[in-house]
Structure 1
Amino acid sequence: MELIQIISLALLQGLTEFLPISSSAHLILVPQLLGWPDQGLAFDVAVHIGTLAAVVFYFRQELGRMLGDWLGSLAGRGLTADARLAWAVGFGTIPVGLAGLLFKDVIETSLRSPLVIAATTVGFGLLLGWADHAGSRRRDEHSIGWKDVLLIGVAQAVALIPGTSRSGITMTAGLLAGLSREAAARFSFLLSIPVILLAGGLETRELLASPVPVDWTALSLGAALSALSAYLCIHFFLKLLARIGFMPFVVYRLLLGAVLLLIFA
């Protein structure tokens, strides 16, 4: 990989993993449009590790409380708000894990076409805009109940379709459940941690079985840049969300979908 490709894809992964615009769509399309060779599985693992490190570090205090209270709930000390949130993150991950195991081959072959990405980019972008407009936006993430967990968890499983955006669809579901914009985003980010762990674990297993040599310099640079861009993305997104809402991302998705249709239809 050339240096410009390493830098571009690492920054792109870090930014788009947490914005509601689909990281998978951008990582599939940008190399195709620019004529770059496939970045390879090892690089995908590295940038996933970078984004995972960013979200864990950003929410390190919340995660510490959630883990402690979750362990306390196992020991019979009752369910605190942080323990319930930890359980919600765990159970919310089950649908995407099952869907990934059942439909992995279909997702990685027939669903990776530019036209599928264009359709999901536009369709789920419109749904995000409607949810942002129609949602009551009165609840925080600690108020999430089991019906909310089921709704958001199933929505996250749908995000396996390229172009949907895991962050976008889980925030959409959170808004439809009555969460505030910030709460929907925060729960989506917390929910990303086990998902990135699962995806990174599967990719690492495939990587270990691959005979392809590893460029450790490229991987290290990719992981570092994706971690930096992901951390900054989370920080400024949460700072600006109450003021700008989701409409700029809806407009971006509609424009991106239109461009894709013009190019590939």
Structure 2
Amino acid sequence: MGTLQIVVLALVQGITEFLPVSSSGHLALVPLLSDWPDQGLKIDVAVHVGTLLAVMLYFWRDVLLMLGGLGRLLLFRGGPGARLMGHLIVATVPVVLAGLLFKGAIESSLRSLEVIAWATLGFGILLGLADRIGLTVRRVEHMTWGDAVVLGLAQALALIPGTSRSGITMTAARVLGYERPDAARFSLLMSMPTIAAAGLLVGLDLYRLDDWAVTREALVAAALAMMSALLAVALMMAWLRRAGFMPFVIYRVLLGLGLLGIVYGVIEI
């Protein structure tokens, strides 16, 4: 791949991965606006690993708490870290099961620009409604096991392209009454297990491939995605401490309408 393609893909993924705006909706525009070939799974996962490093750096205190909590869970002990880690494990199970059960159907039937457009629009409006009616009385420390299940089921919906994993989990958290920064915090923490697992598998593939050119492209893409994602997360969290999700909702509605215009021939590219 050319350098420009790597840079564009990494920045698009890094900026949009954790914002509730649908990264797949943005990535769908890249081939429409260029004649670049498909970047392949390894670059896709590389930029996701970059975004994983970004969220780990931003929430480094939570990462240390979770690691300590995992140790306590293995020793059958409790505590805040063990509870947080347990909630993340529970919230990860639905998306893993859904991915295993419906992966073929999703890849064959749902990976179309039309689906991405409608999902970007519809779930964007749903985020706005949830943010408007949801209370702001709960924090991550107040989470129950039932909440973790609901958030996990919401995350499974993100297998539909255009839904936005962060968007749908923040939507569910706002419906449950979580404060906006805490809804975003748990949503971003939920991304760690699945991205880490995918990154490990592809990392092993790159090692076996022993192709420095491919590995170098993956490393560059990961680094760029990490830097852009770190900036995007910091700005989003700062915004949510003072205001709501409405700018993201408006942006999603405009993006969804634009994509639908392309799908139905109203807009020509």
Short-chain TM bin: over 0.9
CA drift of 1:16 comes to: 0.9
* Count of equivalent residues: 264
Give the AA of the match of 1:38. Answer: D
Give the AA of the match of 1:106. Answer: A
Q: Distance in 1 between matches of 2:117 and 2:204?
A: 31
CA drift of 1:208 comes to: 7.6
Q: Distance in 2 between matches of 1:39 and 1:98?
A: 27
CA drift of 1:203 comes to: 4.9
For the residue of structure 2 that corresponds to 1:55, the secondary structure is helix
The residue number in structure 2 matching 1:238 is 237
CA drift of 1:215 comes to: 2.4
Q: Distance in 1 between matches of 2:211 and 2:73?
A: 45
Does structure 2 retain, via aligned residues, the 8 Å contact 1:42–1:214? no
Q: Distance in 2 between matches of 1:143 and 1:176?
A: 15
Change in CA separation of 1:209 and 1:162 when aligned onto 2, cut-off 3 Å: farther
Alignment root-mean-square deviation, CA: 2.0
Q: Distance in 1 between matches of 2:210 and 2:72?
A: 44
- Give the TM-score taking structure 2 as reference length: 0.91
Q: Structure 2: which 5+ runs fail to align?
A: 265-269
Tell me the alpha carbon deviations over residues 24-60 of structure 1, each in whole angstroms, 9 at most, x when there is no partner: 2222332233232101122112112211111112222
1:152-171 correspondence to structure 2 within 5 Å: 152-171=151-170
- Give the TM-score taking structure 1 as reference length: 0.92
Change in CA separation of 1:89 and 1:263 when aligned onto 2, cut-off 3 Å: same
Percent of paired sites with the same residue: 52
The residue number in structure 2 matching 1:20 is 20
Give the AA of the match of 2:262. Answer: I
CA drift of 1:201 comes to: 4.4
Q: Distance in 1 between matches of 2:167 and 2:28?
A: 17
Does structure 1 retain, via aligned residues, the 8 Å contact 2:128–2:246? yes
Which of 86-95 and 42-51 deviates more? Answer: 42-51
The residue number in structure 1 matching 2:11 is 11
Q: Distance in 2 between matches of 1:48 and 1:163?
A: 16
Say whether 1:54 aligns with 2:54.
yes
1:161-200 correspondence to structure 2 within 5 Å: 161-200=160-199
1:30-69 correspondence to structure 2 within 5 Å: 30-69=30-69
